[in-house]
Amino acid sequence: QVQLVESGGGLVQPGGSLRLSCAASGSIFSIHLMGWYRQAPGKERELVATITSSGTTNYADSVKDRFTISGDNAKNTVSLQMNTLKPEDTAIYYCNAKLVLRGTLTYDQWGQGTQVTVSS
């Protein structure tokens, strides 16, 4: 019932910027957290950044000073501003939402992924 739709991926030169956006739609009762993960070829999927409904953010050390995550609770959207991009940032980026089902029980909903390529 809940779907995540991502946009904003593409090709950018090293040092450039991109902004990713994700919108949640459907029968949404409560979202505990939304965030971004990424997966490069031959590597495990890793956390990039998350934000809770109260505004608490968390970043991977590799992106902490370059990326900024923001969210809009009213619109159920989350964005990731990526600056000073490096070739190592090349990956498929996935939007994630932790939906509250009951009590502390949550369900992870994932977007389809959007490709980010950093290359000259």
Region 64-68 average pLDDT: 97
pLDDT band at 117 (very low <50, low <70, confident <90, very high): very high
Task: Name the CA dihedral angle for 25, 36, 114, 63, rounded to a multiple of 10 degrees.
Answer: 150
Which pLDDT belongs to residue 65? 95
Region 37-64 average pLDDT: 96
Asked if pLDDT for residue 16 goes beyond 90, the answer is yes
Radius of gyration of the chain (CA): 14
